[in-house]
Chains A and B, each alone.
Chain A
Amino acid sequence: MELPIQTFRVTRADLVRYAGASGDFNPIHWSDRTASKVGLPGVIAHGMFTMALVGRAVSAWAAAPDAVVEFGVRFARPVVVPDTDEGTEVVVSAVVKEVTEAGLTRLDITATCHGDKVLSQARATVRAPR
């Protein structure tokens, strides 16, 4: 079963806010100068910010903020965030792989930016709402 697609807009302001809230101040997430110096096409989102957006999608599908019992991703490709009002967009979809007898639902997740997969092996297990 395919779950409804969820789309998240990501701007530079989001990265600055996430840096402050998470304590990850790596300059590749806010400085074009640093990003290009290390060979990136531009400032990129924190991998953990992308994962957090996917976590929002999973919680929304589960219809509960506390339903995730397992959650893992591989960071396959960076999410480049241009310094524009629009920023960029991360599109998150998932299929239900399995519902166990214990009531756990296993999801295979896809996250893309401009059609390219930014995560691989993205999976979550959620329990049914209380």
Chain B
Amino acid sequence: MSLDPSFVGRTYPPTAPYQVGREKIREFAAAIGATDPAHDDPEAARALGHPDVVAPPTFPVIVTMAASRQIVEDPALGVDYSRVVHGDQRFAYTRPVVAGDELVCVNTIEEITNRGGHGFLTTRTDVSTAAGEPVVAVWSKIVVRGEA
């Protein structure tokens, strides 16, 4: 399907804050088999200089995936989610996510291309604390597959 390139540069309003819970980090770490004590034990995290348990590197996708619904469900853009495939994913961290963080996402459409009947959409999500401290920037490219 074809995506309208005029959406490039569009920035969406900040999302409602996401409260990062200690148990959510523990649950996520257990689900991916990450056994470092800093994901589980606040003392172990503090020994590394963090205020509470540390999230594994891909944890922010929980927050950004929910936030990106702003874009993929924007009726004006018209993405058919049943045809979406994940293309690329990238994270650039200012610091790791830790329990107690209150995270706000600002989504920007960075790139739209159409090629071979497929649409390619790159979004950047700037994740910061509610107080405005930057935490991680997250890029995601999705492919909206055309009708075969």
Contacts and interface: CB of A to CB of B under 8 A. Distances in A.
Nearest to B63: A23
Is chain B's binding surface mostly helix, strand, loop or mixed?
mixed
B31 A68 contact: no
A75 B31 contact: no
A85 B132 CA distance: 47
Nearest to B35: A56
A72 B91 contact: yes
Nearest to A70: B92
B96 interface: yes
Interface of A: 8, 14, 17-18, 20-24, 47-49, 51-53, 55-56, 58-59, 64-66, 68-75, 121, 130
A29 to B, nearest CB: 11
Given A17-B31, A65-B34, A69-B93, A52 B58 contact: yes
Contacts of B88: 72-75, 121
Given A59-B34, A66-B38, A47 B86 contact: yes
Interface residues of B, number: 32
Given A18-B32, A24-B65, A53-B32, A75 B87 contact: yes
* Nearest 4 interchain pairs by C-beta: A72-B90, A21-B31, A65-B36, A52-B32
Interface of B: 27-28, 30-34, 36, 38-39, 48-50, 54, 56-58, 61-62, 65-66, 85-93, 96, 139
17 contacts: A14-B31, A14-B33, A17-B30, A20-B27, A20-B31, A21-B27, A52-B32, A53-B32, A53-B33, A56-B32, A65-B34, A66-B50, A66-B96, A69-B92, A71-B93, A72-B89, A73-B89
A30 B133 CA distance: 37
B40 to A, nearest CB: 10
Given A18-B32, A65-B34, A71-B91, A48 B61 contact: yes
Most B CB contacts (10 A, CB to CB) among A17, A48, A66, A73 go to: A66
Contacts of A68: 57, 91, 93, 96
Nearest to A69: B93
B49 A22 contact: no
Contact of B62 (A17, A23, A66, A69): A23
Contact of A56 (B33, B38, B85, B87): B33
Nearest to A75: B86
A30 to B, nearest CB: 14
B48 A65 contact: yes
